[in-house]
A and B are shown apart, each in its own frame.
Chain A
Amino acid sequence: MADILQILILGIALGGVYALMASGLTLIFGVMRIVNLAHPILIICGSFVTYWLFRLYGLDPIVSMPIAAVVLFCIGIVLYKLVFEREAANAKYSEMTVLLTFAVALVFDGLLGFLFSNTQRVTSPAYATEAIFIGDVFIPKGQLFAGIASLVVIAALVLFLQTTRFGAAIRATTQNRAAAQLMGVNVGLVSLVTFGIGVALAGAAGALVSFIFSFFPAKHWEWMAILMALVVLGGMGKLVGAVVGALVLSVIAAFVGAYVGSTWSTMTFFLALFVILLVRPQGLFGDKLEET
C-alpha cells in the first residue's frame, strides 16, 4: 500500500511539471492553431538560462524561474516577429506551419549544441538530493518543490486568463478568432502576447527541468513526443485538458516505471499517444482542425 502511495505521489509531482511544460504549447495552439514543435527545445533554452545563472551566480533554479521566463518571453517575441507573424494572420492549421516550427527546432537544437555541446547537464541545488519522510513514504524535495512551483505558475496563468481583460481577449480568440476580431479584439496583439507567454511558460518549465531531469540540446526530440501525448490526451488548446492529461499520464508512467521497467516508462507516453489517436481517429483535437 505504501508502495502504491509512494508511486502515486511521485507521479503527481512530476505530472505537475509536465503540465507546466505542456501549458504553453496548448495555449499557443489555442490562439494561433500552431502546433509548436519548437516548444521542447525552448524549454531546454530555459534550462540553459537557469543552468548558467546557477553555475555563475549560484542562483537557485526556482528563484531564477521568472528570469528564465522573461528571457524566453523576449526570444518568443523575436521568433514571432521573424517567423510566425504571417502564419498567425492565416489562423488556419497548415502542414507548412508545423514544418516551420520543426525547422525552428532544428535551428535552436543546432545552435545550443554548437554553443554548449551535447553533454548531460543538471543544476544541483541542495534540495535536489534531499527527501522528506512521512512514515514509509519518502518524497524527494526537488520533485515536490518543482511540482508546487508548477502548480503555482499554472494557477497564476488561469487567474490571468479568467480575471483580466487581456485574458478574456485570449480566451475569446481561442474560441473564435473571427468573432473576437469583430468584437474589437486586437487579435494580432493577442497572438503576439500569447506566443510570448507560451514561450515564457516553456522557460519557466525549463528552470524546473534543469534540476529534476538532466538535459542536453538533442533531448528535445523525446520531450516533443511526450508533450504531444499530454496535450492530445487532454484536448489540444485546452489548458485544463493539458493539466489533467499530464497528471494522468505521469501517474501511469510512474506505475509502469516501477513495475515494468524505466525504459518502458517513457514508452507509456508514446504508446498512449497512438492509443488515444486510435480510439478517436480525429484525435482529441476536436473538430476545429477538420475544416482546413
Chain B
Amino acid sequence: MSIGMNVDDVVEARRRHNAVLAAEGRRKHSVAVPLGLLAILLVLPAIQMFGGYNYVLHLALYTFMYVAMASSWNILGGYTGYISLGHNVFFCIGGYFSGMILAYFGVSTLITAPLAGLAAAAVGFLVGLVTLRMRGPTFIISSIALLMVARILFDNWAFIGGANGVTLPQLALDATWMKVPYYYAMLVIAALAVWTSYKIKHSKFGLGLRAISQDEVKAESAGIDTRFYKVSAFAISAFFVGMAGAVWGEYITYLRPNIFLIILIAANMVLMCILGGKGTVAGPVVGAVLLIAFNEVFVATLGSSEINILGTGVIMVIVLLYFPNGIVGTLAQKRRLPRFLDWD
C-alpha cells in the first residue's frame, strides 16, 4: 500500500518538475536585449559628430575584442571543459598573419581578418590534434608550454621582426574617425562570436561538446566522435581569437611578441568566462564588460600593470572559491536569472 502511495508521490513530483521545466522552456529567451544592444552599438560612433569621444570608442572596441575572445574561449573551455591557458597564441598568430600582409602588401587587416582567423583555426586544428589527446591537468600544462614555444619562436624569427616587432602603416583618416572602422570590425567579430557560441550551444555539435565535458569516456561510447568534436571546438575557438588579433594589430599600429604573448591576456579570457559563467552564452559578455570596467578603474586610480595582474588574480581566487558557476550560472541555478541576461 504505502509503496503504491510513494510511487504516486514520485510520479506527481516528477510531473510538477516537468511542468516547471516546460514553463521555463516556453518562456521566450531574451532575443530583444542582445539585438537591441547591438543596434545601439551600431549607431554609437555617431557621437563623434558631437565632439571627441575617442576614449569611449576605444573602450567599447576593447570590450568587443574581449567579448569575442572570451566567447570564443568559452566554446572550448566552457562547453568542452578543456581549459587552455595559452589561447593568446592564436591572438598572436592572427595579429601577425594579417599584420605581415599589411606590412608587405599594404592590404588592410580589416579585409584579411577572416583569413587570419582561418590561419589561427588551422594552427588550432593541428595543435589540437596533438594536445587534445591529453586530458585534465596535462592539457592545461601543454597549453602553457605552447605559449612558451610560441614566445621563443616569435622572439627569434627575423622575418617577422623578432622581439622588436614591426610597425604597421596607419589608415589615412583624421583623428575623429580614425577608430571607427576598427570599432565596426571588432563589433562584427564580437557579434559573430556570440552568435556562433549560441548556435553551437543549441546544436547537436554543442550537445556533444557538453557531453565530453561531463564524461568523455561515456560520450565516446555513446557514439560521439570525441576527437573530431574536440579538435573542431579548438579550431573554432581559435578562429575568432585570431580575427580579433588581426584587427587589434593594425589598430595599435605595431606588432611585437610581448604585446600578444603575455599571460595576462590569456588570464583575462579565462577570468571573464568564469566570472560571467562558463558554458553560458551571456556569461563571457557580462564577464568581459565587468572586468574591463574594473581594470579601467584600477589602471586609472593606481596606474600600474603589476597591480592589474594582482587584481586579476585576487578576483579570480574569489570567484573560483565562492562563485565557481559565475554570475549568470549562479543566478540561473537559483532561478533568479533576469530575463535580459538569459541569452541561452
Contacts and interface: CB of A to CB of B under 8 A. Distances in A.
B2 interface: no
B302 to A, nearest CB: 9
A281 B140 CA distance: 14
B270 A222 contact: no
Interface of A is mostly: helix
Which of B83, B134, B141 counts the most A-chain CB atoms under 10 A from its CB? B141
A283 B311 contact: no
A270 to B, nearest CB: 5
A22 interface: no
Contact of A114 (B131, B134, B310): B310
A58 interface: no
B148 A229 contact: no
Nearest to B152: A267
B332 interface: no
Contact of B309 (A35, A110, A290): A110
Interface in B140-185: 140-142, 144-145, 147-149, 152, 156
A69 interface: no
B136 A277 contact: no
B324 interface: yes
Nearest to B274: A99
Contacts of B313: 103-110
Interface in A251-292: 263, 266-267, 270-271, 273-274, 277-278, 281-283, 285, 289-290, 292
A107 B309 CA distance: 7
B320 A281 contact: no
Nearest to A271: B149
Contact of B137 (A117, A224, A289): A289
Nearest to B217: A290
Nearest to A272: B145
A74 B296 CA distance: 34
Interface residues of A, number: 47
A263 B152 contact: yes
A108 B317 CA distance: 12
Interface in B304-326: 304-314, 316-317, 320-321, 324
A98 interface: yes
Contacts of B121: none
B270 A278 contact: no
Contacts of A281: 133-134
Which of A110, A114, A271 counts the most B-chain CB atoms under 10 A from its CB? A110
B242 interface: no
A86 to B, nearest CB: 8
B135 interface: yes
A83 interface: yes
Interface residues of B, number: 41
A225 interface: yes
A273 B314 CA distance: 30
A274 B130 contact: yes
Interface in A89-144: 93, 95-96, 98-100, 102-111, 113-114, 117-118
A107 B144 contact: no
Contacts of A80: none
Contact of A95 (B136, B148, B312): B136
A95 B278 CA distance: 13
B145 A228 contact: yes
B83 A98 contact: yes
A232 to B, nearest CB: 7
B207 interface: no
Contacts of A232: 138, 141
B45 interface: no
Nearest to A292: B136
B320 A285 contact: no
A54 interface: no
B135 A113 contact: no
A166 interface: no
A221 interface: yes
B263 interface: yes
B144 A106 contact: no
B144 A224 contact: yes
Interface string A19-48: 000000000000000010100000000000
B152 A110 contact: no
A112 to B, nearest CB: 8
Interface of B: 81, 83, 85, 130-131, 133-138, 140-142, 144-145, 147-149, 152, 156, 263, 267, 270, 274, 304-314, 316-317, 320-321, 324
